């Protein structure tokens, strides 16, 4: 059932990303997503980038096409429809976690990183973006990270290159209980490759087209899984065996297309 909520706060995070805050009382776990309906437009899945009880929840939207653009153009007082939260979540255990975020994928990771920090875990962060201005939640994550390292594709801040280059040295420098990652699938598959020799479990949050979000329509199929119900967070063991991981996704028409 969809609830109409009022946008209470709009925060321009980066040139391409905007956070919308709204009151929506349903409890949510770190990594879960909601379906967001823009009146007069479509409904899209969005990770909760703020999920705490007692404060407004939030989504952080990157402009991709018409619905996401519409969302980033909303003003305080505008209404959107929310249903959910849906899906599973990042694990709630582990004493030392490495969080690897690429672009808008960091939206799903920030609440998980904060939750881990709040229960006393050490959280280190590798944060990547195309350019310095697009580094999402750098200051928010710096407040809780034991070690925060940054990369940009154009070298405007931190390591010049992909965030995956930071992961190997960080993994080699300490014993991690888990790696949590969200971003382009090629990035997540490289993170898994770096963690494998060290036997560190990796949990990656996946994106696929979603329509029902309640395990009915098959739009979000990924091998034997439905991302809306079995995910969005999958283990490296689940993802490694999938022919589609890092290679194919489904279009809105259900066709298999390259990621
Ligand atoms: C679990 C999950 C969490 C997500 N979290 C975020 C987030 O925190 N921030 C964010 O900016 N984006 C997130 N997305 C992606 C987002 O749902 C849309 O893909 C994106 O906003 C583009 O939608 P559009 O209609 O503007 O673009 P369009 O131009 O219509 O589509 C661009 C591409 O977006 C994808 N897309 C469009 N509609 C959907 C849909 N209903 N479901 C999934 N993919 C779709 C398709 O791959 C399409 O090729 C998430 C997706 C999933 C599945
Ligand atoms: S979106 Fe319908 S089954 Fe997952």
Closest ligand by atom to 211 CA: 2
- Residue 101's closest CA among 143, 72, 134? 134
Q: Which pLDDT belongs to residue 86?
A: 98
Q: Which pLDDT belongs to residue 241?
A: 83
Whole-prediction pTM value? 0.94
Helix/strand/coil percent split, the chain, to 5: 25, 35, 40
Question: Could you tell me if the CB of 57 is within 6 A of ligand 2?
Answer: no
Report pLDDT digits (tens) over 47-97.
999 998 778 999 999 999 999 999 999 999 999 999 999 999 999 899 999
Q: Which pLDDT belongs to residue 246?
A: 82
* Ranges of the chain whose pLDDT falls below 50: none
Q: Which pLDDT belongs to residue 55?
A: 86
Fold of 96-258: Rossmann fold (3.40.50)
Superfamily of domain 3-86: Translation factors (2.40.30.10)
Closest ligand by atom to 231 CA: 1
Contacts of 211 (CB under 8 A, 6+ apart): 217, 219, 220
| Ligand 2 geometric centre to CA of 207 (Å) | 12
Ligand 2 pocket test target in 220, 223, 224, 234 with most atoms within 8 Å of CB: 220
Report the nearest atom of ligand 1 relative to the CA of 210. 42
> For 103, which DSSP code?
G
| Ligand 2 geometric centre to CA of 10 (Å) | 29
Burial class (CB in 10 A: 0-12, 13-18, 19+), 175: exposed
Angle between the 185-195 and 164-173 helix axes, to the nearest 10 degrees? Answer: 20
Structural domain boundaries of the chain? 3-86, 96-258
Whose C-alpha lies nearest to ligand 1, atom 10? 61
Question: Could you tell me if the CB of 217 is within 6 A of ligand 2?
Answer: yes
Q: Which pLDDT belongs to residue 198?
A: 96
Question: Could you tell me if the CB of 216 is within 6 A of ligand 2?
Answer: yes
Q: What span, in angstroms and rounded, lies between the C-alpha atoms of 207 and 221?
A: 10
Q: Mark 18-53 as b/e (b = at least 16 C-beta within 10 Å).
A: bbbbbebeeebbbbbbbbbbbeeeebbbbbbbbbbe
Q: Which pLDDT belongs to residue 223?
A: 92
| Ligand 2 geometric centre to CA of 32 (Å) | 15
């Amino acid at each position: 059932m969809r609830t109409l909520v009022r946008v209470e706060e709009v925060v321009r995070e980066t040139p391409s990303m905007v956070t919308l805050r709204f009151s929506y009382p349903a409890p949510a776990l770190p990594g879960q997503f909601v379906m967001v309906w823009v009146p007069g437009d479509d409904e899209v899945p969005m990770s909760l980038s703020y999920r705490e009880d007692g404060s407004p929840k939030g989504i952080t939207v990157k402009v991709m096409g018409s619905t996401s653009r519409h969302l980033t153009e909303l003003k305080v007082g505008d209404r959107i429809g929310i249903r959910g939260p849906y899906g599973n979540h990042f694990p709630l255990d582990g004493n030392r976690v490495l969080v690897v975020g690429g672009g808008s994928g960091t939206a799903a990771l920030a609440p998980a990183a904060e939750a881990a920090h709040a229960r006393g875990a050490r959280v280190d962060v590798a944060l990547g973006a195309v350019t310095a201005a697009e580094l999402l939640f750098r200051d928010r994550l710096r407040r809780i990270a034991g070690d925060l390292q940054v990369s940009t594709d154009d070298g405007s801040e931190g390591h010049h290159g992909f965030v995956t280059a930071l992961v190997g040295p960080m993994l080699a420098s300490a014993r991690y209980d888990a790696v949590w990652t969200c971003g382009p699938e090629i990035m997540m598959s490289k993170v898994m490759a770096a963690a494998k020799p060290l036997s560190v479990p990796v949990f990656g949050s996946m994106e696929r087209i979603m329509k029902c979000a309640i395990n009915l329509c098959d739009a979000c199929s990924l091998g034997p899984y439905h991302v809306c119900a079995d995910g969005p967070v999958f283990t490296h063991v689940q993802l490694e065996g999938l022919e589609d991981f890092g290679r194919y996704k489904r279009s809105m028409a259900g066709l298999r297309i390259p990621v």
